[in-house]
Every structure is written in structure tokens, then in C-alpha cells.
Amino acid sequence: MKDLIRLSAVEAATRLARRELSAEDYLGAFLDRIAEREPTVHAFAHLARDKAIATARALDQGAVRGPLHGLPIGVKDMFDTFDMPTQGGSKIYVGHTTPIDAACIALSRHAGAVVLGKTVTTELATFPPNETRNPHNPAHTPGGSSSGSVAAVSDCMLPLATGTQTLGSTVRPAAYCGVIGYKPTYNLIPKRGVWATSDTLDTVGVFGKTVPDVAWFVAGMMSCPELRVPLEETAPTALRVGICRTFEWDKASPEMQQALEEAGQRLASAGAHVRDITLPASYADMLQAQITVGTFEMGRTLSDEYLRHGERMRPQLHERCALAWQVTLDEYQRALAIGRECRARIPEAFADLDVLLAPAATGEAPEGHDWTGDPVMNQVWSFLHTPCVSIPASLGPRGLPLGLQVIGRLDDDARTLRAAHWIQQQMAWQPFADAHAMRGRA
């Protein structure tokens, strides 16, 4: 049974569809893992064990529902679910329920997914962390805000989970925990029923063990089979990769900078066309513009929580909301204009390249639990709305994962995913490929 949790989601889905594996047995393997590891990792805000078992049994007795048939998923506790509480990691919403599912969760259930539970988020998907730990080393953060989702997938308590990204909440935690984090093109996955932070930036993302897994998840959820990445995917013909150090390069640790340089060399040796690129000069203004937009929208989106329930907010979040009212409408509109201009220049930034490769985080996951890490390597791409896939690249000096992100053009998710799969296969560290992936976790 323990071997089942090591299957990729695509492999499991294939066996489930052929009835070579029962949904109940597959779910049971994850429940055993959760019983063993949850006291250390603290990935779940709500575990719907009995409901999930009942759903799995019903799936075993009926016809195959769809491409996600029998796959357990975790749902970030910012997504509405009709049959379990949605609390947003906040004291304000303890015990809160809703009669509907978020659109993407409804679509996932329709495609056969088994919702196993709600995963821990930072407070209202912002900055104050909750109890989740990094499975590779519980003394370190798993990142945020999608903390529980990424930790559960990393520790083989789930094959798939949902997340969101406003600043870096999918790509960065995936890098810290050594899994795949996929932030699609903005609004590819509908946001209805997902609690908002910043409408200009919020994007629904997913986590999995492999690139084909996250592609399978979104393809099945959205009925977009063209997004699938075959397990046997070979090198795209003459893949053209731009090594992108970004305007925030000085924030990257020496080991992260080395990881990107070595990745470029590996890809070139494997047959890719690799070259350094320089982003348009106007992109240097994007980070501050993104901060302005995010601050303005977050404060106003969370206005009721701030104005009526401020005493129940964490002080850190309350202070952030207060700052939002200092951003003027003129500053906000000028920042939005910078985003529009830079999106229009994406063809110039990419030139004749297929994808860009950049750091997914500044380095390894920070030690401690009071901070989820710096999103500076993600904020510009969130503002650009481009598809990004975080891939594990190597291990850092503390033995924690270092991640890079593969960045594609707007609405070019299929090519971005295929490129990311091939690039990840060339990296120095292959998580989940063998028993090494479970070292220190058994």
C-alpha cells in the first residue's frame, strides 16, 4: 500500500480508469500516510475522511467519471466547498460554511476527483503563517500562502492539490518543498468561489509530483486535453530557452544563482538552444508597480474584515490593510498602466524563445515559522499574468530543495508545460524518482 502514494497522479489515474486499482484502496494509502505524518507537518485545516471514503466507494461501484476519477485532492482553505468549512486561516471565519463549491472544485468533482480535505493557508492568503511545516525539515517554512497544499503533496499525503498565487504563493512554496507548482495564465482557471485578495493578480494554481501530473489535473478540471503532457515526452525540437536573471537578481542567494547557471549548462548539453536574455528596461518598474496594485486592491478587498473585525486579524495583516489606504487612486492607475505596457511587450521580452528560465525563489526555504519567505522572484511574473511552472533543480547547502521556474508567453500554457517537463528531467535532483525522494520521511 505504501507504494501507491509514490505513484504519479497520471499513473494512478490510468490504473484507476482500467480498474486495476480501486479508488478506496488508493485513498486508504493516503489516509495511512496522513495518520503517520500530519502530527508533524500540519497540512490540513479540515480532513473529510469519512466523506472521502464514501465518495471513493461510490466511484468504485459506478462508471468511470472522468480523467480525475478516484484521484484524492486537497483544496486550499480559500476555496468554497459545499460540504466542509471554508475558514481562510482566520479567526474571523472559524466554522464558516457555504452551500456551493468554487467553480474549479465543482469541475474537479465532476471529473471524478475525491476531495479529501481543506489545506492550511496563511491568514486570508496573505502574510501571517499558520501551523504548517516543511516536510523536508520541520524547522523550516514550507512557504505560503498555499502552505498546506504544497506540504501535503511534498510529503506524499496527497497526489494533487489546489493553490492560489497573488505574489508568489504557488511557485515559491513549490520551490521550497521540491514539488511542481503550476500557475497558469491569468484566469485560465475560473476564480468564482475562490476568496479574493487582489483581482488583478489572483490566479488559481495547482501542485503535483510531476509536470504531467499538474497538466493532467488542470486538463481534467477544465476539459482541456490539449494541456496534457505525455509521460514519455521527449525533448521539444530545438527548445529555445532564455536564461533570465531578472532585475531582482541581487536578491538571489549564491546557491540559487549557481543553480540557474548550472541549469543553463545542462540544458545546452542536452541539446537545447540556450542564451542569456535581458528584459526590456521598462520591466525594471514592474516590481514596485505590482506592490502598489497588490496593496491597493488587498486593502479594499479585505475592507469588511479590516473595518469591522480588525481586532481579530493578526497585527501584521491589520497593518498591511492600513497601508492600503495610503495608496492614492492616481498611484494605483499609473501602476496598472505599467502592467498593461509590460504585458504588451512580452513578445519583445521573449523574442524568438520558447520559454524563459528564472529563479523560483531567492534560495532554500528560510528557517523558522514566522515568515514564509520573500516572493520577490515571483511578483513580476504574477503581474505579467504569464504561465509559470516551478520545477525542482537541485539541493542547497542545507539539504533543502532549490527551484527554478519555467515561464511561458501569455496563453501558451501547453508549450510551457511541455518545455517544463523536459527541462525538469535534465535537472540535477529528481524528486520522487526513487526511494531517495522518501529519505527522512518514512
DSSP of 206-239: EEESSHHHHHHHHHHHHT-GGG---TT--PPTT-
Amino acid at 93: Y
Instruction: Please state which architecture CATH assigns to domain 2-282+343-438.
Output: Alpha-Beta Complex (3.90)
How confident is the model at residue 231, as a pLDDT?
72
Residues 6+ apart with CB under 8 A from 96: 85, 86, 87, 88
**Burial label, 53 (beta-carbon count in 10 A; 0-12, 13-18, 19+):** middle
Q: Which three cell numbers stand for residue 6?
A: 509514490
Report yes or no: 244 and 357 within 8 Å, Cβ to Cβ.
yes
How confident is the model at residue 430, as a pLDDT?
83
How confident is the model at residue 56, as a pLDDT?
98
How confident is the model at residue 436, as a pLDDT?
37
Q: Which three cell numbers stand for residue 87?
A: 475558514
Q: What is the pTM of this model?
A: 0.97
Count of residues making up the chain: 442
Phi, psi (deg, nearest 5) at residue 37:
-110, -20
Would you give per-residue pLDDT tens digits along the chain (442 residues)? 679 999 999 999 999 999 999 999 999 999 999 999 999 999 999 999 999 999 999 999 999 999 999 999 999 999 999 999 999 999 999 999 999 999 999 999 999 999 999 999 999 999 999 999 999 999 999 999 999 999 999 999 999 999 999 999 999 999 999 999 999 999 999 999 999 999 999 999 999 999 999 999 999 999 999 999 987 656 667 899 999 999 999 999 999 999 999 999 999 999 999 999 999 999 999 999 999 999 999 999 999 999 999 999 999 999 999 999 999 999 999 999 999 999 999 999 999 999 999 999 999 999 999 999 999 999 999 999 999 999 999 999 999 999 999 999 999 999 999 999 999 999 988 887 543 344 344 3
How confident is the model at residue 234, as a pLDDT?
60
How confident is the model at residue 60, as a pLDDT?
98
Domain ranges, ordered by start, for the chain: 2-282+343-438
Query: DSSP letter string over 290-307?
Result: HHHHHHHHHHHHTHHHHH
Q: Which three cell numbers stand for residue 385?
A: 499574468
How confident is the model at residue 371, as a pLDDT?
96
Alpha-carbon distance of 84 to 146, in angstroms, equals 18
Distances from the Cα of 60 to the Cα of 10, 69, 168, 315, angstroms: 18, 9, 38, 48
Beta strands in 257-374 (DSSP E): 273-277, 355-359
